[in-house]
């Protein structure tokens, strides 16, 4: 797959982003599409994908992350990150959520 319109960039600024929606997705499918995630914040998150995408001439950012449903927050009785299926999507607007949904439903277009 050629990823010309988006990329996973763990160094992109996520300042000012906030929750925009939720997705149910297999961890390994997210890795296949976006690449390896960061290890999250070590407290409430176990994994975070930071995705930059183009909207015309502007570069925008969306995040996919687990929140309080993994081992970092709940201990060993919680699922490992590769067994998490419920993810939060963050961004500066709802557009980030809709973009992630579009990528997941038609990844070949991207």
Q: Closest Cα partner for 91 from 102, 83, 81?
A: 102
Find, among 19, 37, 20, the residue nearest to 28 by Cα: 37
pTM score, whole prediction:
0.90
Beta bridge partners of 21: 89
User: Tens digit of pLDDT per residue, the chain (110 long)?
Assistant: 334 478 888 889 999 999 999 999 999 999 999 999 999 999 999 999 999 998 888 899 999 999 999 999 999 999 999 999 999 999 999 999 999 999 999 865 55
Q: At what angle do helices 27-34 and 94-105 cross, to 10 degrees?
A: 90
């Amino acid at each position: 797959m050629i990823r010309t319109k988006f990329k996973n960039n763990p160094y992109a600024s996520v300042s000012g982003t906030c929750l925009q929606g939720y997705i149910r997705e297999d961890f390994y499918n997210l890795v296949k599409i976006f690449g390896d995630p960061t290890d999250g914040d070590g407290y409430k998150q176990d994994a975070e994908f930071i995705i930059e995408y183009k909207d015309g001439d502007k570069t925008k950012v969306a995040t996919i992350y687990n929140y309080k449903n993994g081992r970092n927050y709940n201990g060993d009785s919680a699922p490992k990150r590769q067994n998490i299926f419920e993810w939060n999507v963050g961004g500066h607007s709802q557009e980030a959520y809709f973009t992630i949904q579009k990528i997941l439903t038609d990844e070949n277009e991207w």
